[in-house]
Amino acid sequence: MYTEQGRGTFVGPKSAPQSPRRVPVYQQIANEIIGEIKAGAYAPNRLIPSEKTLEQRFDRAPGTIRQAVAHMRELGWVFTVPQKGTYVSKPEDWPEG
């Protein structure tokens, strides 16, 4: 048995293979929307669906959807205009890769 900082306690030798980390739900949602942006489902400078619509679509709590939108905003995929909504950023503002 051994413990790794930030990962937890494990049973077995340290060299044993470990399952990959699970991707948080908010990141899964963000990744799906980013994929749709890349595919052209949402055009630059156009609104993405509202948080309420995304809550219903993904059947998740408001906080999870807010986290997903915040994550996309931090990465540069979208920007938010208060009282207006969240828009797709221009392609030149998208992260590389």
pLDDT (tens digit, 0 to 9) for every residue of the chain, 97 residues total? Answer: 667 776 667 677 766 666 667 899 999 999 999 999 999 999 999 999 999 999 999 999 999 999 999 999 999 999 999 999 999 999 999 998 6
Structural domain includes residue 16: no
Which CATH number do you get for residue 27?
Answer: 1.10.10.10
Structural domain includes residue 5: no
Cα separation, 17 vs 95, whole angstroms: 32
- Res 3: pLDDT: 72
- Res 16: pLDDT: 66
Cα separation, 15 vs 74, whole angstroms: 35
For the chain, the domain total comes to: 1
- Res 6: pLDDT: 65
Structural domain includes residue 1: no
- Res 68: pLDDT: 98
- Res 9: pLDDT: 72
pTM: 0.77
Structural domain includes residue 30: yes
Domain membership of residue 63 as a residue range: 23-93
